[in-house]
Amino acid sequence: MTTVKLWSDAEAESEPRVKAVFDDIRATRRSDFINNFWRGLANQPAALERTWASLKEIMAADGALDPLTKELIYIAVSVANGCSYCIHSHTAAARGKGMTEAQHGELLAVIGMANETNALVTTLQIPVDPEFQV
């Protein structure tokens, strides 16, 4: 149950700004599949255009971090925010970019450990060591 309508392909065809983004998602990903996030965001063409443009730029293949690493970071953030949809979509994306079960297992362990030690540090209110200064 969403708070907005999910746009069908037929509806997207009738709105040029939405159609243009959907077309670019399909071309960029070389897949006909448009996931529900974009179908919901289509209600707001400006947000759809801005979000897709940013995502395309940030998650693109050629960068200082490889695409799989970016997906792992995305999953870690999504877990911390409790965003179920995001966890599913980026876990699927990570698998599509070659994440092995062993890598998923280590990601799981690091996420668990980070959340645990974050909580320990916060409970104890540990002051930043001057050695960490830039």
- What part of residues 47-106 is at the interface with a copy of itself (CB under 8 A)? 47, 50-51, 54-55, 57-59, 63-65, 69-70, 72-89, 91-92, 100-106
Whole-number Å distance between alpha carbons of 128 and 70: 27
Choose the binding region for a copy of itself from 8-16, 19-27, 124-132 (rule: CB under 8 A).
124-132
- DSSP 8-state assignment for residue 55: H
Q: Can you state the percent helix, strand and coil of the chain, rounding each to 5?
A: 70, 0, 30
Assigned token pair, 78: 């999504």
The residue count for binding a copy of itself (CB under 8 A) is 82
Contact at 8 Å (CB) between 56 and 45?
Answer: no
Is the CB of 27 or the CB of 57 nearer to a copy of itself? 57
Contact at 8 Å (CB) between 78 and 90?
Answer: yes
Fill in the per-residue mask, 13 to 42: x = in contact with a copy of itself (CB under 8 A), - = not in contact: --------------------x-xxx--xx-
Is the CB of 16 or the CB of 58 nearer to a copy of itself? 58
Q: In the set 8, 17, 28, 108, which binds a copy of itself (CB under 8 A)?
A: 108
